[in-house]
Amino acid sequence: MTIVTRFAPSPTGTLHVGNIRTALHNWLWAKKTGGRFLLRIDDTDAARSEERFADAIRADLAWLGLHPDGEERQSARFGRYEEVFRDLVGSGRLYPAYETPEELELRRKVLLGRGLPPVYERSALHLSEADRAALEAEGRRPHWRFRLDHAPIEWNDLIRGPQRFDAATMSDPVVRRADGSWLYLLPSVIDDVDMGITHVVRGEDHVSNTALQLQMFEAMGAAAPAFAHEALLTGAEGKLSKRLGATGVAEFREAGIEPEALVALLARLGTSDPVEPIVDATVLAETFDFARFGRAPARFDEKELAQLNARIIHHLPFDRVAAALPQGMSAAEWEAIRPNLSRLAEAGDWWRVLHEEVTAPIDAGDGEYLASAARLAAALDWSGDPWAQLTAALKAETGRSGKALFLPLRRALTGLDHGPDMHALLPLLGRERTLARLSRT
């Protein structure tokens, strides 16, 4: 069996961090098993769906490296939904109901007031044809409900384990509104059947939806996919904040977060595996396992993401980052400076250190020392390791060691007290620039 997963966002906004995690885990499972990852644009809500959001979703997935193997749009499948709708009406699994929202809310309050669960009482099933005709003559149009079989609903969730719902305690779900528009539940089932979806990975807030949908698969005479319901994300201090919950790719990019860092964090978040600076997502796919997921909420920490981002940057090859670096920066320069970066934008600061004038704070008493350094640097063999040669010669001549030996040189050459390994940096500065900076005093 070929594994087929899907990511099904609605184009009513951009992807946020929870959406990204869902898409990633579906992609990882498909990649691990040699299967297919599909994108389904759930655009049945014509009033709220916008093409610009569909385009943004595709662009965000591409930035993350999550390239779908195919795409479907629900708005192109209304004919198929009508076909299944007629079949389910004919088999008695869909029925019309005429209650107004106000009437349903009143019934709900009455049941709660009696200490009873607010379950729909199926009043619509007792209407005669004459009753329905009279209601429609009043101008009422029916919404449509799926009639549940009042039997236990059971499945083995790939993350949560054995699940059981009593359908008798659940309301028959509304699947179609009075204006003819569709709600989420039934079209999603029809799509999963037609697209050959074998696994659905989504948040645990969909568990009760799954119970309802399993009977819809059965009513269509189709096998249901396997389900994996993940614990939801929380923030570092508990509940995921509204701001963080809405944080999307644009905000991460603006903050200097690389896609590899976001993928590396979200791939392992909520599992027993350690979060590591893994650049290659296929390596993450190899270890992806639903058995490693826990039931506790998954903690998303922006500070952890920032730290991981720095570690990821330290592993990024030159070809991956060249387009984002200052024009003219070489591979050797990138390899020298990347251990000191937390964001790619900081490469510009080190470009200026390498190629522009720097202000060097020189302590009193170091002028003569730096003059000696300039004299010794002029005689070095620059084809070898000039930093090792220079510091060895200065130590022998001046008796300095440790901080007193190294810090004045770093300050004079870079204008800073810290930075990349000088063994790598000095050859990049070159002989002439090094002599000029050491001789300024």
pLDDT at 399: 94
| Per-residue pLDDT at 358 | 87
Residues tagged in the binding site annotation: 242
Annotated binding site for ATP: 242
Nearest by Cα to 25 from 270, 360, 333, 363? 270
Distances (CA, A) of 5 to 102, 114, 188: 39, 44, 13
Q: pLDDT at position 237, please?
A: 67
Question: Looking at the chain, how many residues does it have?
Answer: 441
How far, in Å, are 195, 320, 346, 387, 430 from residue 340 at the CA level? Answer: 47, 17, 9, 19, 20
Q: How far is residue 409's CA from residue 381's CA, in Å, rounded to a whole number? A: 18
Q: How many CB atoms lie within 10 A of CB 336?
A: 22
> What superfamily in CATH does domain 4-72+185-233 come from?
HUPs (3.40.50.620)
Residues 6+ apart with CB under 8 A from 1: 198
Compute the distance between CA of residue 227 and CA of residue 219 in angstroms, rounded to an integer: 18
Residues 13, 18, 19, 21, Cα dihedral to 10°: 150
Instruction: Of 52, 60, 55, 56, give the one whose Cα is nearest residue 21.
Output: 60
> Which pair of tokens denotes residue 289?
């396992």
In angstroms, the CA 233 to CA 21 distance is: 9
Q: What is the pLDDT of residue 142?
A: 97
38 vs 149: CA distance, rounded Å:
31
Instruction: Return the sign of the alpha-carbon dihedral for residues 135, 168, 44, 253.
Output: positive
Q: Are 234 and 240 contacting, i.e. CB atoms less than 8 angstroms apart?
A: yes
Residue 183, C-beta contacts closer than 8 angstroms, at least 6 positions apart:
173, 174, 175, 176, 177
Beta-carbon contacts of 263 under 8 Å, excluding residues fewer than 6 positions away, are 24, 64, 65, 281, 284
What pLDDT sits at residue 247?
A: 76
Return the CATH class of domain 80-176: alpha beta
* pTM passes above 0.95: no
Q: What is the pLDDT of residue 234?
A: 86
10 Å CB burial of residue 248 (0-12, 13-18, 19+) is: middle
Give the tens place of pLDDT for each residue, 34-80: 999 999 999 999 889 999 999 999 999 999 999 999 999 999 999 99
Amino acid at residue number 247: T
CA–CA distance, 243 with 249 (Å, rounded to integer): 13
* pLDDT tens sequence across 207-220: 999 999 999 999 99
CB 154 within 8 A of CB 182: no
3-state secondary structure the chain: CCCEEEECCCCCCCCEHHHHHHHHHHHHHHHHCCCEEEEEECCCCCCCCCHHHHHHHHHHHHHHCCCCCEEEEHHHCHHHHHHHHHHHHHCCCEEEECCCHHHHHHHHHHHHHCCCCCCCCCHHHHCCHHHHHHHHHCCCCCEEEECCCCCEEEEEECCCEEEEEEHHHCCCCEEECCCCCECCHHHHHHHHHHCCCCEEEEEHHHHHHHHHHHHHHHHCCCCCCEEEEECCEEECCEECCHHHHCCEHHHHHHCCCCHHHHHHHHHHCCECCCCCCCCCHHHHHHCCCHHHECCCCEECCHHHHHHHHHHHHCCCCHHHHHHHCCCCCCHHHHHHHHHHCCCHHHHHHHHHHHHCCCCCCCCCCCHHHHHHHHHHHHCCCCCCCHHHHHHHHHHHHHCCCHHHHHHHHHHHHHCCCCCCCHHHHHHHHHHHHHHHHHCCC
Predicted local distance difference test score (pLDDT) of residue 417? 92
Task: Give the pLDDT of residue 364.
Answer: 77
CATH class of the structural domain 234-313 = mainly alpha
| Amino acid type, 335 | E
pLDDT under 70 in the chain at which residues? 237-246, 441
